[in-house]
Amino acid sequence: MHFNKKIIKQFVTEAKEYLGTIGSDLAHLRESPGKLDTAAVDKVFRAHHTIKEGAGFLGLKNITALALLMENMLTMIRAREIKPGAAIISALSAGADRLNDLLDHIEHSNEMDISTVYSRLADLISGEVSARVKKELDTDIFLYDARGKNTGFNINEYTRKNLAAKGKLLYILKYDLMALTGDKQQTPLRLVRHLQKKGSIIEGKLLSVLEDLHAGLPRQPLIYEVLYATTLRLEQLKNFTAPAGNAAAGVGNRAIKEIQPVDDDASLSRDPGQGTKLPNSSFIVFRDYILPGICERSAAWKPQPGNHSTPKSRVWSIGAPAGVEAYLIAALVHEYIAADGSAGISAADFSILSTDESPAALARTILGEYEHNEIEANAPPWPGQKSQYFSSTGASLSIRDHIRSMVTFRQIDLTASFSLPAGFDVIFCFNSFAAFDRGTVKKIFKRLFSLLAPGGVFLPRPSEGSPGIGTGFTPLKYGETTIYKRAASGLTNFRKELLKGGKQ
C-alpha cells in the first residue's frame, strides 16, 4: 500500500475546509474580547485538533507541531487561563494562514520554516498564563501501561488534572496504517473524527519514518500509536474499536491492533531516580526515557528496498572520572536490545565514543580493569548480573569484549580545537566546569549544541547543573535529573517540548 496522491489530496482538502470555516469565528472572538463565546472557541479548537491528528498519521511534522501549539493556546482560552485579546487572536489567525501555506505546498511542508509564527504563539502563551499553570505545564507525568512497560508517552500535570476532573481514562491504541489506507472508505481525518465521538486524542506518533510522502510505505506494518482519553471502560472501548464485518462498524476498526490501558497509579508515582543516592541518575533517565526512542527511530531506518544504509545512533561520553561511564552506557544499550527485541536492532547500530582530556584517565578506561570495590563505590548499579559485562580475574574485574567492542576512544580537550562529525543523538558530560570562567563554559556548550542532532539530548554532570548552557536547549526534568534537548526544528521557546497539555 502507498500514501498516494489521492490520500494526501483528501487530507489537504478536508484540512483546508476546516480552516475555511473558522475565519468568521476568530473574527467574532476579536470583536468581542469582553465576552467569551465558548461555542466559537470550541469550533476553532476542534478544527486544529483534527488537523493535528490527521497530519500526525501522515508524518506531516510541521503541520502537526503548529496545529498542536495552536490547540494548546485554545485550551488555555477555553479554561479562561488566557484572555482572547487582539494579540492572541491575531497570532491564531497568523497560525491558520501558515497552516494553509503548508497545505498548499504539502510535499515540501516538512522542510518549510514555521519558526516565526511558532515563536510568536509560544511567547504569548508563556506571557499570559499564571505561575501556577506554568508550573503544572513543566511537571511531567510519565505513563506506564498495565504491564509496567514505559509507553513512551508523557503528559504534564495540567493535562492530568483536566482529564481527572472529567473522569477520563488513558489508553494506548495501536493502528496499522497499511490496513487503514487499504480501505477506500477510510482516511486519517475520518478515523480522528470517529475517535472524537467517544473521547479525545492527546498525542499520536508514527513508529516508522517516511522519507517522501509519495515514496510509499515499508512492507512491514506501519504502526501509529495514539494516546487516547475517554470515559469508556476497557470493555466498552474494545467494543467501540472492535473489528466487524461491515462498513457500519466504524472508521478504522479493521486497523486496530492493540489496546493497552495506562496504569494511573504506576504512572503518577514513577519517578526516575527516586530514592537513589547516586549522582548518576542520568543513566536511569537514558535507560528509561531516551534509549527507547533512539531504538524506535533506528528501527524505522532499517534498510528497506532501495535503502541499503542504516545511520548509526551516536552517543558521546565526555570525561571518565570513574573509568566505567562509557561501558555502562554500552551495557544499558546491550540490556535494552536483548530484553526488548527492538525490531532487529543490534549493538552494531550504535556508535559510542568515550573521550577525556587526560591521557592517563583515557588509558585507564581503555584498559577496562577495576577492583571489585571500585565498581561498587564509583558507579551506579549495572543492569542484570555484572558477570554479563565483567570477567573476574582474582581481585580484579575486566570488561568483557562484547561491551568493550561497542566503545571507541579519543583524547579531546573541550577548551581546545578539535574536530568531530555532528549528529550525536546523546551527549553525556561527566566533566566538571567549576574551574572554567562563564565565557569558556558558554563556548563549550555552544560547541556541544552544534554537534547534537536536531532533537538530540545533552545530559550534564548531575551534581553541578549547567548554569552556562545557553538558550539553544530546552530543559526537561525527570525526577531530580534535568537534561537538555536540542529542538527538532530549532524552536525552544517556553519548553515547547512539554506543551502537550490541556486537551478536551
More confident residue, 458 or 270: 458
Inside any domain, residue 384? yes
| Grid cell listed for 318 | 565526555
Average pLDDT over residues 76-97: 91
Report the 3 state secondary structure along 357-420: CCHHHHHHHHHCEEEHHHHHHHCCCCCCCHHHCEEEECCEEEECHHHHCCEEEEECCCCCCCCC
Residue 65's pLDDT band (cuts 50, 70, 90): confident
> Residue 44: what pLDDT?
93
Identify whether residues 85 and 43 lie together within a single domain. yes
Q: What is the residue range of 14's domain?
A: 5-266
- Cell 561527566 maps to which residue? 430
Identify whether residues 16 and 120 lie together within a single domain. yes
Identify whether residues 435 and 394 lie together within a single domain. yes
Identify whether residues 227 and 355 lie together within a single domain. no
Q: Would you say residue 369 has pLDDT above 60?
A: yes
For residue 309, what is the domain's CATH number? Answer: 3.40.50.150
The Cα 503–Cα 159 span in angstroms is 7
Inside any domain, residue 205? yes
Orientation of helix 38-57 relative to helix 61-78, angle to 10°: 160
Percent pLDDT > 70 in the chain is 73
A 10 A CB-CB count for 247 gives: 12
- pTM here? 0.52
Contact of 21 with 47, CB cutoff 8 Å = yes
> Residue 311: what pLDDT?
67
Q: Report the range of poorest mean pLDDT among 196-200, 342-346, 450-454.
A: 342-346
Tell me the per-residue pLDDT of 238-275, one tens digit each, with 9 for 90 and over: 888 865 433 334 444 557 788 889 876 545 433 333 33
Inside any domain, residue 318? yes
**Mean predicted lDDT score pLDDT of the chain:** 77
Looking at 266, 294, 316, which one is the last position of a domain?
266
The Cα 45–Cα 26 span in angstroms is 11
Identify whether residues 342 and 451 lie together within a single domain. yes
What are the angstrom distances between the C-alpha of 439 and each of 77, 222, 398, 418?
A: 41, 47, 40, 18
The Cα 66–Cα 496 span in angstroms is 11
What are the angstrom distances between the C-alpha of 188 and each of 47, 67, 192, 281, 323?
A: 14, 16, 6, 40, 51
Inside any domain, residue 498? no
Inside any domain, residue 31? yes
Inside any domain, residue 275? no
Average pLDDT over residues 157-180: 83
Which range, 99-113, 152-166, 364-378, is most confident?
99-113
Tell me the per-residue pLDDT of 466-495, one tens digit each, with 9 for 90 and over: 555 655 677 777 766 788 888 754 333 333
Looking at 266, 292, 307, which one is the last position of a domain?
266
Identify whether residues 350 and 450 lie together within a single domain. yes
Residue 104's pLDDT band (cuts 50, 70, 90): very high
Identify whether residues 142 and 237 lie together within a single domain. yes
> Residue 231: what pLDDT?
92
Identify whether residues 99 and 243 lie together within a single domain. yes
Q: Report the range of poorest mean pLDDT among 224-228, 442-446, 491-495.
A: 491-495
- Per the structure, the count of domains in the chain is 2
Identify whether residues 291 and 258 lie together within a single domain. no
Identify whether residues 163 and 77 lie together within a single domain. yes
Q: According to DSSP H, which parts of 218-353 are helical?
A: 234-241, 264-269, 282-285, 291-300, 325-340
The Cα 92–Cα 308 span in angstroms is 43
Identify whether residues 298 and 397 lie together within a single domain. yes
Average pLDDT over residues 85-89: 91
Identify whether residues 304 and 171 lie together within a single domain. no
Looking at 266, 297, 323, which one is the last position of a domain?
266
Tell me the per-residue pLDDT of 2-60, one tens digit each, with 9 for 90 and over: 455 777 888 899 899 999 989 888 988 888 767 788 899 999 998 998 898 888 777 78
Inside any domain, residue 71? yes
| Grid cell listed for 206 | 508514527
For residue 14, what is the domain's CATH number? Answer: 1.20.120.160
Inside any domain, residue 243? yes
- Please name the amino acid found at residue 190: R
Q: Would you say residue 501 has pLDDT above 70?
A: no
